Amino acid sequence: MLAIHRISDLTLERRGGPDDRLHIHFKLSHAPDRAWIGLFKAHAASSALSAENAIFNGDVVYIEVARARTPAELGTALDCFIECANLRLRSLPGPAPERRPTALPPTALPRPRLAAGRFRPRV
């Protein structure tokens, strides 16, 4: 899969309300798959920006953030979320959407060996 990049400038909009969240939308180089979207959302939600409610419509992304100082800070943070999703890096608080390796069956694990007579039962 080709790496996904942000190809448009950020469009910022404040809609007011009790928490005064900032609404952003931007365009990606191509539409991402479900695993990529899950990774992007996990990184965005666990960030200092408290970015949530990410909506993907093909290659266009709509997202809300609670804290933002400058448009440059937002652009850098969003590019970081995109790059982390491209690299398939997991975010700790969020679930891992990619497949996990299966555990080895119990018979494949070596049995621990105990030396005879070295251990005494506790009384």
- pLDDT digits 0-9 by tens, 33-92: 898 888 888 888 888 777 878 889 999 999 888 777 788 888 888 888 888 888 877 655
| Measured distance CA(21)–CA(68) in Å, rounded | 9
Asked if residue 120 has pLDDT above 70, the reply is no
Measured from the Cβ of residue 94, the count of other Cβ atoms closer than 10 Å reads: 16
Assess if CATH 3.30.70 describes domain 11-92.
no
Q: What are the E-state strand segments in 1-123?
A: 11-14, 22-27, 52-57, 60-65
- Pairwise CA distance, residues 55 & 64, whole Å: 9
pTM: 0.65
Q: Which amino acid is at 80?
A: C
Q: Would you kindly state where each structural domain of the chain is located, as residue ranges?
A: 11-92
